[in-house]
Amino acid sequence: MNIIPKLKSLLSLLMLALIGTSSINAQNSDNKMEKPIEVAFIMFDDYETLDVFGPAEIFGRLVDKYALKFYSLEGGVVTNRHKVPIMTEKFETMGNGPKIILVPGGMGTRKEVNNTQLLNKLEKLSQTSDYVLSVCTGSALLAKSGLLKGKKATSNKRAFSWVVSQDTKVDWDKKARWKVDGKYYTSSGVSAGMDMALGFLADRHGIDFARKVAKEIEYNWIEDKDNDNFVAE
């Protein structure tokens, strides 16, 4: 007499278990399908080689988390004084825009600080991106765009005076390896971009994660962002 109610109860429990399992599987499936976050390199002629390829090596290893893209005003091949070419896409192909942009430095920044079209595009991209990173004199472009006004920042120590002249209302740090102010990350010269990129990973994924990446590329990461071996006079 009591068998039927018991069977109904068991069937109800089984249905709840199946629904719960389906929900978990759906969540796991969604997690697996998350797209890597785009890191957009803002390219121009006469960029500094390591400013680009240092961070590119670090982010590029993490293919499940980050996807590298290279953009320029005109698209096509961009090259530098080392004769290293990079194929780029036009900014218009970005769609909704990347979550992370990275601005390298190099001798080309001396010209690009007067490129109103590039500066305007950089300003718009920075306002809609979650994070903005610059290496070396790339911070001069951010400063000239007005993006660093009132913010803490640093740059290449050998070109420090020139960078500062782009906007004296930035809180420039003469001794930092890299600085963080909100979503803005700015680094000192050339190799410091790798330290900053690892620092960014540490902030997003934890210090042990960043140290593991540094170990994989056999890089002696300078973890102290506030003290650079190179100090501006």
- What's the pLDDT at 23? 45
Please give the biggest Cα pair distance in the chain: 93
What is the structure's pLDDT at 26?
A: 44
Query: What is the residue-averaged pLDDT of the chain?
Result: 90
The helix or strand, by DSSP H or E, that contains position 42, with its residue range, turns out to be strand 37-42
DSSP state of 163: H
Give the residue from 76, 166, 41, 81 showing the smallest Cα distance to 115. Answer: 166
Query: In 3D, which of 171, 207, 197, 175 has the Cα closest to residue 66?
Result: 197
d(CA 79, CA 190): 17
Which CATH architecture fits 36-216? 3-Layer(aba) Sandwich (3.40)
Residue 200 in contact with residue 146, Cβ under 8 Å? Answer: no
Torsion of CA 87, 45, 130, 33, to 10 degrees: 10
| Closest C-alpha among 63, 64, 67, 74 to residue 41 | 67
Mean pLDDT confidence for 191-207: 98
pLDDT of residue 10: 53
Predicted confidence (pLDDT) at residue 176 exceeds the cutoff of 60: yes
pLDDT of residue 24 exceeding 90, the answer is no
Q: What pLDDT does 6 receive?
A: 55
DSSP state of 180: E
**Pick from 12-16, 106-110, 179-183, 185-189: least confident:** 12-16
Kindly report, residue by residue over 66-122, the tens digit of the pLDDT: 999 999 999 999 999 999 999 999 999 987 778 999 999 999 999 999 999 999 999
The whole-angstrom separation of Cα 196 and Cα 193 is: 5
pLDDT at 33: 63
pTM of the model: 0.85
**Band (3; pLDDT cuts 50, 70, 90):** low
* Mean pLDDT on 210-219: 98
Grade residue 175 by pLDDT with cuts at 50, 70 and 90.
very high
pLDDT, tens digit, 9 for 90 and up, residues 58-73: 999 999 999 999 999 9
For 131-164, write each residue's pLDDT tens digit. 999 999 999 999 999 999 999 999 999 999 999 9
